[in-house]
Chain A
């Protein structure tokens, strides 16, 4: 009974692909590590000093 599951799964895949591409495009326009790499961001360094 996976008739409803297949289109839903494909929808999830399409949405995921869209979000990943959107994220990659945003990074292209705003270059930098964006904090994804695990280095402490400037926002965080500010928190340390509070």
Chain B
């Protein structure tokens, strides 16, 4: 048994660096945000696509301290790049990040025994540690009582009871962070006798050749004996040859003896944790027994049949709301834009600047911003479902389907994120352990209909089905069809890749289902407004800018005076680009004007709407029309040179199919390149997705025409 250490750590002259560590979903990031507020910097660890979050907090005396929010991990035995970075930073293996001076371990108080495994390993490091028992409010509701003072006495370190989501315990934690004389732990546990010589030899090698401090060397020796360092990431300092040789020698010896030394070590650690929790945790007699309310709801929500029905009903209700509730505010926005256009038009006499402002900037922005109410409703519902805890159940249901295509249920969270935007979805794949599963998820994530596609779908549905004649259920069904096609397209290609290019064994998934809770409408509302703000900001910056550029491309070079408007548009840069593309897209039913929209969509998908606004406004403006048609009416009135309608129902549907499947986002391509560290995969993704979209649309259009549509 190692001797206890109670000598306080010496006070440091400069501000210390704290690392925040804990299991996933223990509330660590909520705590980090509560301590640092807006004073955070997010970057990447060099050489590896893992996020590095550093923030500044302040002691009670106003001195700054640095906090590093390390990726969540269940133990120092890393199973993914995120977890490897946490391990490496704590063990001082990274040249770009110094070993933290002090460590804040955040644990979920409702599941102390499991969470203490990581804490137990960290206490071995011999660094000053503060233990934060988070989610104490939930623990108390469940009748779990933790004797924090007893725990503090046994471990010899500060233990703070906390509920980061409500702010409870934050002040006490700040006081603990402010202490210059943080004590070292009295933590000690019994290592199996048979393993002690191996620990000593490895510790000596780590101290001498790898130059580790004694206690860190011992902790690393214990880790290497249970997890022989299989996962290494870029930026991690390799171990010395002597350490590797010592480890290999002991592994060989125990393999010959048939001793499961790794298992023995893990069991010894769990025994120590079990004795500790038995002393400090008690469950109240009034604690509920049997299935909780969440369990009873889950019996329906995760049922193989009812679960899917409930999921379908919720999605249908969400889209129904989008189509029914948004009509009036959309009208307000259109009136407002018309009012602004009318006034600006009266201030600037006819000319190029007038056309740039009215037909370029305002028309382009209106084409996107008019869908703001529908975006708001969508994010309101998503926020509501997330806040209640339902989304984890959706991931659970999806896992059944995803395992059939060879994907981990962990892929569902990145894919779910891709419904908002593929970029954070693709970045979220960093938590997927298996490289092939991660790559497959990255390759199929853009199939999820992102929020940028929503304005395009809404415009084309409005052009396809006039409001007054068709039940709203038809529009809902078309929208659901688009989302379903994208989702099943993703699963289909995932299955294909897992059977061919990226073959691998189907992975296991273990996930936690958080308890249900009543949604915090304030949080949902704030989140909805935040996303609305981002959407409006994007419309006012990127979309506005692209609309101005598009107006220029659709106006210059100018055709000679008196040229008919269609020909004038065809004469412009945009028209010429559209005409170059037209032979490739004509078999799909698209013409050069749609081609301009498709080209512009590579910058941002919703720019299709702006492009159509600019193109049809440009066509209208020189006719001196006194009223501007709504864009959807303009599309429905648009004609081909032979006088037939351009946006027939078949073309509208086909265009939506194209947007579901084609890879049209340069930003996503750039992120895929970064995450895969190569141009091969993003170019492959661009090729296979766009090729599939083209082929599908070709078949749909040609068969549709043959059937008389």
Enumerate chain A interface residues (CB-CB to B < 8 A): 1-2, 5-6, 8-10, 12-13, 16-17, 19-20, 23, 27-28, 31-33, 35-50
Query: Are A40 and B548 in touch, CB under 8 angstroms?
Result: no
Query: Are B523 and A48 in touch, CB under 8 angstroms?
Result: yes
Q: Is B671 an interface residue (CB 8 A)?
A: yes
- Cα A44 to Cα B141 with chains together (Å): 29
Interface hit among B285-293, B310-318, B501-509, B526-534: B526-534
- Cα A49 to Cα B28 with chains together (Å): 13
Complex interface residues of chain B between 651 and 671 (CB less than 8 A to chain A): 667, 670-671
- Cα A50 to Cα B166 with chains together (Å): 9
- Cα A44 to Cα B379 with chains together (Å): 15
Complex interface residues of chain B between 435 and 464 (CB less than 8 A to chain A): 450-452
Query: Are B33 and A42 in touch, CB under 8 angstroms?
Result: yes
- Cα A44 to Cα B420 with chains together (Å): 16
Instruction: Using CB atoms, name the residue of chain B closest to A28.
Output: B670
Q: Cβ of A2: which chain B residues have Cβ within 8 Å of it?
A: 349-354
Per-residue contact bits, chain B 34-62, to A (CB 8 Å; 1 contact, 0 not): 10111010101000000001000000000
**19 pairs of residues in contact across A and B, judged by CB atoms under 8 Å:** A1-B349, A5-B352, A9-B353, A9-B356, A16-B545, A16-B549, A20-B546, A23-B542, A27-B670, A33-B424, A33-B427, A36-B667, A37-B424, A37-B451, A37-B452, A38-B531, A40-B531, A45-B29, A49-B167
Query: Are A32 and B427 in touch, CB under 8 angstroms?
Result: yes
Q: Is B249 an interface residue (CB 8 A)?
A: no
Instruction: Using CB atoms, name the residue of chain B closest to A3.
Output: B351
Query: Are A43 and B40 in touch, CB under 8 angstroms?
Result: yes
- Cα A32 to Cα B531 with chains together (Å): 17
Enumerate chain B interface residues (CB-CB to A < 8 A): 29-30, 33-34, 36-38, 40, 42, 44, 53, 164-165, 167, 348-356, 375, 379, 417, 420-421, 423-424, 427, 450-452, 523, 526-527, 530-531, 534-535, 537-538, 541-542, 545-546, 548-549, 551-552, 667, 670-671, 674
Which 7 A-B pairs give the minimum distances between C-beta atoms?
A2-B351, A37-B421, A5-B351, A5-B353, A9-B352, A33-B423, A46-B33
Query: Are B548 and A35 in touch, CB under 8 angstroms?
Result: no
Query: Are A50 and B353 in touch, CB under 8 angstroms?
Result: no
- Cα A36 to Cα B541 with chains together (Å): 10
Q: In the assembled complex, how far is the CB of residue A19 from the closest CB belonging to chain B, in whole angstroms?
A: 6
- Cα A5 to Cα B523 with chains together (Å): 48
Total residue contacts A-B, CB cutoff 8 A: 128
Query: Are A35 and B534 in touch, CB under 8 angstroms?
Result: yes
Query: Are A49 and B530 in touch, CB under 8 angstroms?
Result: no
If A37-B424, A39-B421 touch, whether A1 touches B549 (CB-CB below 8 Å) is no
Query: Are A8 and B353 in touch, CB under 8 angstroms?
Result: yes
Q: Cβ of B671: which chain A residues have Cβ within 8 Å of it?
A: 31, 33
Interface centre among A10, A16, A35 (most CB of B within 10 A): A16
Query: Are A38 and B534 in touch, CB under 8 angstroms?
Result: yes
Q: Is the interface of B mostly helix, strand, loop or mixed?
A: helix
Query: Are B417 and A39 in touch, CB under 8 angstroms?
Result: yes
Instruction: Using CB atoms, name the residue of chain A closest to B37.
Output: A46
- Cα A48 to Cα B33 with chains together (Å): 9
Query: Are B549 and A13 in touch, CB under 8 angstroms?
Result: yes
Q: In the assembled complex, how far is the CB of residue A31 from the closest CB belonging to chain B, in whole angstroms?
A: 5
Q: Which of B34, B44, B348, B535 has a CB less than 8 Å from the CB of A49?
A: B34
If A37-B420, A46-B38, A48-B526 touch, whether A31 touches B349 (CB-CB below 8 Å) is no
- Cα A9 to Cα B551 with chains together (Å): 10
Q: Cβ of A35: which chain B residues have Cβ within 8 Å of it?
A: 534
Query: Are B535 and A38 in touch, CB under 8 angstroms?
Result: yes
Instruction: Using CB atoms, name the residue of chain B closest to A39.
Output: B424
Q: Cβ of B531: which chain A residues have Cβ within 8 Å of it?
A: 38-40
Q: Cβ of B38: which chain A residues have Cβ within 8 Å of it?
A: 43, 46-47
Query: Are B164 and A49 in touch, CB under 8 angstroms?
Result: yes
Query: Are B351 and A6 in touch, CB under 8 angstroms?
Result: yes
Q: Cβ of B545: which chain A residues have Cβ within 8 Å of it?
A: 16-17, 19-20
Query: Are A39 and B352 in touch, CB under 8 angstroms?
Result: no
- Cα A6 to Cα B227 with chains together (Å): 70
- Cα A39 to Cα B348 with chains together (Å): 38
- Cα A21 to Cα B410 with chains together (Å): 36
Q: In the assembled complex, how far is the CB of residue B182 from the closest CB belonging to chain A, in whole angstroms?
A: 25
- Cα A13 to Cα B541 with chains together (Å): 14
Query: Are B548 and A46 in touch, CB under 8 angstroms?
Result: no
Q: In the assembled complex, how far is the CB of residue B41 from the closest CB belonging to chain A, in whole angstroms?
A: 10
If A12-B548, A32-B427 touch, whether A38 touches B421 (CB-CB below 8 Å) is yes
Query: Are A20 and B351 in touch, CB under 8 angstroms?
Result: no
If A13-B356, A42-B33, A49-B34 touch, whether A36 touches B548 (CB-CB below 8 Å) is no
Q: Which of A12, A32, A47, A49 has a CB less than 8 Å from the CB of B165?
A: A49
Query: Are A46 and B356 in touch, CB under 8 angstroms?
Result: no
- Cα A48 to Cα B571 with chains together (Å): 52
Q: Cβ of A47: which chain B residues have Cβ within 8 Å of it?
A: 38, 526
Q: Cβ of A9: which chain B residues have Cβ within 8 Å of it?
A: 351-353, 355-356, 552
Q: Cβ of A19: which chain B residues have Cβ within 8 Å of it?
A: 545
- Cα A23 to Cα B543 with chains together (Å): 13
- Cα A1 to Cα B348 with chains together (Å): 11
Instruction: Using CB atoms, name the residue of chain B closest to A9.
Output: B352
Q: In the assembled complex, how far is the CB of residue B403 from the closest CB belonging to chain A, in whole angstroms?
A: 27
Instruction: Using CB atoms, name the residue of chain A closest to B354.
Output: A5
Query: Are B421 and A33 in touch, CB under 8 angstroms?
Result: yes
Q: Which of A8, A12, A36 has a CB less than 8 Å from the CB of B542?
A: A36
Q: Cβ of B530: which chain A residues have Cβ within 8 Å of it?
A: 40-41, 44
- Cα A46 to Cα B549 with chains together (Å): 36
Instruction: Using CB atoms, name the residue of chain A closest to B523.
Output: A48
